[in-house]
Chain A
């Protein structure tokens, strides 16, 4: 009870600061995922076309994923120095795997019949990709982005160790102060909240973009119309 009171007090004292760090934290994660999407989605499509490469690319991305975040930051720090850019770059690396994998899976799983009918309608390769494959795979790709964003929000917290700021700063300060529990929680709660919100929003987008769902909805409507 005491702690909850302290947390509320902390927010009342430092609201503006917490919001600033919250925003900063989110931007770091979002940039990481954004850059990863720019690289990973085309790469995913490419390896879906050239299946032999897929083993190599995906296992490489897998290896990146196994590197502990703190070690990754330390190594990148040696090359890139301190600051936000280093954190954004490591978040970029961590986002690659989920996005590549999901893009690959999404594109590979598009029904062959649909591809064939697209071709039969006289679409060229690009049109098939743009009008058939991407819309069909979109929800799976979105699921990859969603996973990447949630991962990066968590990892961005340790960016504080190389001076990048973000909500990790608040948590680390809590560990340095006597009786810092409320401060630690005051940093950890918004981080968790951000991850949950990101998950919910991206999940909603994913459902919106899913072609299957749409079909189901219209099917229901059809049935209802038939029943009426």
Chain B
């Protein structure tokens, strides 16, 4: 009986492997002409993933399949290495320096980009494209009103007022090593009057309602715009850069020579403010990322005129 069971399991596995190679009409295209784009579960990642998909569909005959809801950058990386996906839509320089590459963080955004581009080519044979033009990092944020009244533009501008200010941050940042509060105090040389840890989703409204004076926000979150907040420039480059790019495997780029040019068209096209807007469409206005991406590209004519 054991023998028969083993035979059955082998058969099942063989069938599974066989099936993973085939394509079902209506669900997936032929394997050699299908490009798989992986995204994370954030709205931002899915919007960018759909933009990449629509760009490829617009400029080439290749079929694109979306693999949504990958858990994190590391999962994306593993899926790339396994061949489950061919392109990851959003990869952040700071995240992958620490994650996939296990290197120390680098403060200068351009240098960080250069390092990941070089290392990904060398270690994984993958191409890390130039940034889309936005970065999703931490940023000190105040109401537009306060910024106007006190003429705040950079984080250093906070120094004279700081002892009277209440700071709202997400739960982990205060105790975090490296780019946490401790490091911040050392780098900028001042401390806030009071700090309040809270859920990241609450900081935007807390600032808008005047419960907090300064909050630490995620820069591409649409709620910055929705609550009319202003981001202060991190003038000492304390936070590591989280510039966002697409990453593709080189064997895929070779199989589809037109792909590289298509992805390059997207570099530098979306500012952090624009990404806030797009994210807000998804998070605040209940639009699906696929629809937002389509509208965005139609508005910009699929970047036809960009070289």
Contacts and interface: CB of A to CB of B under 8 A. Distances in A.
Partners in one complex: yes
Interface of A: 6, 9-10, 13-14, 16-18, 20, 23-24, 27-28, 31, 60, 76, 79-86, 88-89, 160-161, 163, 165, 169-170, 172-173, 176-178, 182-183
B38 A89 contact: no
Contact of B67 (A24, A79, A83, A89): A83
A81 B67 CA distance: 11
B36 A83 contact: yes
Nearest to A79: B16
B27 A163 contact: no
B68 A160 contact: yes
Contacts, number: 107
Contacts of B291: 13-14, 16-17
Nearest to A88: B24
B64 interface: no
Nearest to B287: A13
Given A165-B66, A177-B282, A178-B201, A84 B287 contact: no
Dominant SS among interface residues on chain A = helix
A24 B26 CA distance: 8
A14 B41 contact: no
B278 to A, nearest CB: 14
Contacts of B287: 13-14
Interface stretch (B81-89, B113-121, B136-144, B181-189): B81-89
B43 interface: yes
Nearest to B223: A178
Given A76-B16, A82-B70, A163-B38, 18 more contacts: A9-B286, A13-B286, A20-B290, A79-B17, A81-B82, A81-B83, A82-B67, A82-B79, A83-B28, A86-B20, A88-B24, A89-B15, A89-B19, A160-B68, A161-B69, A163-B69, A177-B283, A178-B201
A166 to B, nearest CB: 10
Interface string B6-27: 0010000101110110111011
Nearest to A87: B27
Interface in B26-66: 26-28, 36, 38, 41-43, 46, 65-66
Among A18, A176, A183, the most chain B Cβ lie within 10 Å of the Cβ of A176
A28 B70 CA distance: 20
A213 to B, nearest CB: 34
Contact of B28 (A16, A79, A84, A173): A84
A92 to B, nearest CB: 8
Contacts of A89: 15-16, 19-20
Contacts of A178: 201, 283
Nearest to B282: A177
Contacts of B24: 27, 31, 84-85, 88
B156 to A, nearest CB: 32
Contact of B288 (A14, A80, A88, A182): A14
A183 B287 CA distance: 10
A10 to B, nearest CB: 5
A220 to B, nearest CB: 43
Contact of A82 (B16, B85, B288): B85
29 contacts: A13-B286, A13-B288, A14-B287, A14-B290, A17-B291, A23-B26, A27-B27, A28-B27, A80-B17, A82-B70, A82-B79, A82-B85, A83-B20, A84-B65, A85-B22, A85-B23, A88-B24, A88-B27, A89-B16, A160-B69, A163-B69, A163-B84, A173-B41, A173-B46, A173-B289, A177-B43, A177-B283, A182-B286, A183-B286
A59 B15 CA distance: 20
A87 B41 CA distance: 19
The 7 closest A-B pairs by CB, nearest first: A163-B67, A80-B20, A82-B84, A14-B288, A81-B84, A17-B288, A84-B27
Contacts of B19: 80, 85, 88-89
A23 B123 CA distance: 40
A18 B286 CA distance: 13
